[in-house]
Amino acid sequence: MEMTNNAVFEARSYDRHTTGELAIEPLSKALPRWRALLQEMDGATLYHREPWLRALERAYRLKLSVATLSADGRIIAGCVFARGAHPLRPRMVSLSFSDFCPPLSLDDQAREILLSALAANPPAPRLEIRGVEPSAQWIAERSFQRWVLDLSRPAAPVISEMSRHFRYNARRAAASGVRVEKGSSAEHVRRFYRLQLQARRRLGLPAQPLGFFLAVRDEFAPEANVELWFATRKGRDFAALFVLRDGCTLHCKWSARAIDSPQGVSHLLNTALVEEHAGRVSALDLGRADARNAGLVRFKSELGARAFALPYAYFPKAPRNRSSEAMGLFGRAASRVWRHLPAPLARLVGASLYRFFA
């Protein structure tokens, strides 16, 4: 059932008392207002835009809603939520399967009022907003970082600022006969997915279903906003990157590497990506990393990227397990079991259950 909810509250807005209204409606009904918010307010990212939202709806059958805050007859803030699929943990997330999706607002004050209104009139027993500094009523999680590489310059200075170790590994992979290629077809997605299954199983984690990656490709390909990069040798793929473009920002959304890959294949791939796009886009977003994941943090740092705080906000409390990169005792035990599942079974179970993990 689609949900529509309205709440009227009194809030101090723009230095005076006003009567505000919090409205929560299905995205299908609120889409014109959501599009207006994207046009009028700064801060919209790939995760706020329709191609990404449509891919989530198509692949995971997510029920998306838009929460808007109005004051004096004007929308001053809004965010998009997905209703969690887990039947025993009802919650709404802004946004599932996304690194961050903070509210869009006219200013900081409007964002704070929206957070207060959601806490006073929660549309679900638990709420989660990714990428926003929480207000007093919310619980903060600050272990995540967003890594961004500046590509507004030519390739040469960007590559020169990579660590010596990073550049050495890229040269070593190239010298061993590894070559780089790219494409954007459905078959390229399937090639990527074969590597993704190996990589996730090695980490003891389920892989997202193939249908999700195909849905993303279908949504972004018409505007040439998707690229899949491969490091290959003698006809075999050893590593891959799944890259999306949003305006002047590239998002390296997913990466995968074979267990027995030659040394430096990931370094070579990322260097090739930089050489292709440096000076043509403003930034390469390398996504989220848990600050406790030393290996991933080191790789992104040696690539030359900078880390920015990426707070998550929870109401009324944070879940026990918030990061697959820093598991608790139960998570580590489940991960060990997953590593030993037969590959076909791991793929089937992962594809069936992944929508419940967001």
Q: What is the pLDDT of residues 249-260, one digit of tens each?
A: 999 999 999 999
Domain containing residue 104: CATH number: 3.40.630.30
Report yes or no on 42 lying in a domain: yes
Residues 90 and 206 in one domain: no
Strands (E) across 84-209 are located at: 91-94, 104-105, 126-130, 139-141, 144-150, 179-183
- Measured between its terminal Cα atoms, the distance across the chain in Å is 20
Residues 169 and 123 in one domain: no
pLDDT of residue 138: 97
Q: What is the mean pLDDT of residues 195-204?
A: 90
Report yes or no on 37 lying in a domain: yes
What confidence tens digit (pLDDT) does each residue in 108-165 have? 999 999 999 999 999 999 999 999 999 889 999 999 999 999 999 999 999 999 999 9
Per the structure, the complete domain to which residue 217 belongs is given by: 145-308
Residues 164 and 248 in one domain: yes
Residues 26 and 108 in one domain: yes
Residues 163 and 265 in one domain: yes
Quick check: 248 pLDDT over 50? yes
Report yes or no on 341 lying in a domain: no
H helix intervals, 204-283:
210-220, 265-277
Report yes or no on 327 lying in a domain: no
Residues 159 and 119 in one domain: no
Residues 29 and 160 in one domain: no
pTM over 0.95? The answer is no
Measure the CA–CA gap between 76 and 54, rounded to whole angstroms. 25
How high does pLDDT run on average in the chain?
Answer: 91
Measure the CA–CA gap between 109 and 9, rounded to whole angstroms. 16
Residues 300 and 153 in one domain: yes
Residues 107 and 201 in one domain: no
Of 88, 106, 137, the last residue of a domain is 137
Closest CA to 50 of 216, 185, 211: 216
Residues 177 and 45 in one domain: no
Of 293, 308, 323, the last residue of a domain is 308
How many domains does the chain divide into? Answer: 2
Of 92, 112, 137, the last residue of a domain is 137
Report yes or no on 70 lying in a domain: yes
Report yes or no on 85 lying in a domain: yes
Quick check: 19 pLDDT over 70? no
pLDDT of residue 35: 96
Report yes or no on 3 lying in a domain: no
Strands (E) across the chain are located at: 5-13, 16-26, 64-71, 74-83, 91-94, 104-105, 126-130, 139-141, 144-150, 179-183, 226-233, 236-246, 249-257, 283-290, 306-309, 312-315
Residues 121 and 224 in one domain: no
What confidence tens digit (pLDDT) does each residue in 26-46 have? 999 999 999 999 999 999 999
H helix intervals, 204-264:
210-220
What confidence tens digit (pLDDT) does each residue in 52-99 have? 999 999 999 999 999 999 988 889 999 999 998 776 678 999 999 999
- On whether the CB atoms of residues 190 and 40 are closer than 8 A, the answer is no
Report yes or no on 97 lying in a domain: yes
